[in-house]
Each structure stands twice: as C-alpha cells, then as structure tokens.
A and B are shown apart, each in its own frame.
Chain A
Amino acid sequence: MAENTKSNEFHKQQSKEEMKKQLITFALMIIFTILAFLIVGTEMMSKMVAIPLLLVLALIQVGFQFYYFMHLKDKGHGMAAVMIYGGVWAAFLTVMALTLVIWW
C-alpha cells in the first residue's frame, strides 16, 4: 500500500509537469490566434501572402490541440493516430476534389 501511495505521488508530479506544458500550449495558441486576427484586421499584407500564412497558423494550432490537449503524443496512441490521420487523409482528398471542380 505504501509503495502504491508513493507511485501516486510520482504520478501527481508527472501530471503537474504535463499541466505546465498544457498551459504553455494554451498561451501559444492564444498568440497564434491574435496573430491571425491581426494579419487580417490591419490588412498588413497582400492576399497572396496572408492566406497561406493564415492556413499555416491554423495547422500549427490544430497540431497543438491534437498532440498536447488530446495527448496524441503520449504512449498508446498509435491506433488513435491511425484513425484520425485516416480521416484527415480522406478530408484532404474531399477538399481538394471539391475545390478543383471549380478551378476552371
């Protein structure tokens, strides 16, 4: 029993450090969001630069959300990654097909 309590202390410490990382993740996501709104709000750059930049900022945010908030980076998430990336692949094909249809 005593050993179990000790290992629980260890787990608590672990999740505390995990929580710190989550907070940093959150701060970064807020910064990226503000940045994206500033790019559009101040009209600081041309359309050709702004749109790819906005998409990159969105992808980074989604990466944070998946890997840190949803723990995809942790052990035992192999199957979960297969599921979501299968979906992302089909999603990519869908968006490509629907936007290419109207290309010309």
Chain B
Amino acid sequence: MADHSLTPENMPQHPEKATLEGKNKFLGLWFFLGGETVLFASLFGTYLALKNSTAGGPSSQELFGLELVFLMTMLLLTSSLTSVYAMYHMKNNNFKKMMLWLGITGLLGVGFLGCEIYEFYHYIHSFEFTFRSSAFGSAFYTLVGFHGGHVLFGLCWLSALMIRNAKRGLNLYNAPKFNTFSLYWHFIDVVWVFIFTVVYLMGKVG
C-alpha cells in the first residue's frame, strides 16, 4: 500500500479534498446537512404550532432562564471556533495541534451537554415539566432533545476519530474524515442559533 503520510513537501493545499473519496465525503456530508435542515425544520414547525398549548402547565415565560442558555450558547459558539482552529492546523499539517484543538472542541461540547442535562433535570424536578405534561412539553423536549442528541452523536464521532487516528498521523485518508466532522459540528451550532432564538428568546418575549 502506498504511503500517503503528509510531509511539508507533498502536502496539497486542501488535503481533505485531494482524493476522489475526500471529494465524495465532502459532497455527501453537505447532502446530509440539507436533509438535516428539513428534519429540524419540521421539529421547529411543530414547536411553533404547539408552544402555546400548555394544558395548564408552566409556560415558556415561566420556565426559561436566560443565564444558562447564554452560557450554553457561548460554549457551543466557542467550540465552533476551536474546530475552525483544528482545521487550520490540519491544512498546515500540524497533527498534534489539530488533535489538541479537536480535544478542546470535544470538552466544550461535553460542557454544553452537561448544561442541557442540568436544564432538563431542573425543569422536571422544580416545575414538574416533562415530555408528557403538555403538547408544549412534547414539542419542546423533542426539538431541544434532538439537538442534544446530535451533540452527543458528534461527541461519539469525535472521540472515535481521535482514538482511531491517534497514532496514524495526518494523511490523505483521514484528513477528509476530520473535515466532515468539523462541518457537522458547525451545523450543530447553526441549529442551536435557531433554537436559542426561536425557543428561548422568542419564548421569553412571549
């Protein structure tokens, strides 16, 4: 098998798209993100239709606190930037720094997920607001939980990538894999921008 390890001499400008497989992964992921957009749109549409059907339970104004949501937003937004840094180091063929920044990205993701679990726990125990409380409850937990599930999936994906490639170094075979992960991770932040705007901020306004 040919050695595809990258050195400063044979490094293409875009290692993630230098092979046909890399190009296909890139296109395939964008296709997948197009589908994900529709999936989340149907959940957003459902939430918007059901958000006032509280069945006598707590409303969005009573439930949501902006402090925690702001913290979660900052965590996820920063993790988006750290994955940009990781891809920057990938393009400069600096494997160690890429792994370091990917690790930071993962930790920020864990922080985000921890906040979300705390948030749900708080709603369930202090407000007795559950998935079955009302149509609002079902729509809320489905939408926000689906996003949280995507974060969890992203974290599993990231750790699998990092562990699997820890000793391989950077090459034309795994560069597209890291790149597709970073695109997915940015997309998670895109969805979160709409969640904090439509669910939390607009929910607080009324």
Secondary structure at the B interface, as helix, strand, loop or mixed, is helix
B186 contacts across to A, CB distance below 8 A:
65, 69-70
When each residue 79-104 of chain A gets 1 if its CB lies under 8 Å from chain B and 0 otherwise, what string results? Answer: 11001111110111011011101100
Interface size on B, residues (CB 8 A): 51
How many residue pairs bridge A and B at CB < 8 Å? 134
- Closest Cβ of chain A to B168, distance in Å, is 22
Nearest Cβ on chain A to B116's Cβ, whole angstroms: 17
B residues whose Cβ falls under 8 Å from a Cβ of A:
8-11, 13, 17, 26-27, 30-31, 33-38, 40-42, 44-46, 48-49, 66, 70, 73-74, 77, 80-81, 84-85, 88, 91-92, 183, 186-187, 189-190, 193-194, 196-198, 201-202, 204-206
A87 pairs with B35, CB closer than 8 A: yes
B48, B74, B81, B183 — most chain A CB neighbours (10 Å):
B81
Question: Are B40 and A91 in contact, CB atoms less than 8 angstroms apart?
Answer: yes
Q: Is the CB of B193 within 8 A of A58?
A: yes
Cβ–Cβ < 8 Å partners of B187 in chain A: 70
Q: Smallest Cβ distance from B52 to chain A, in angstroms? A: 9
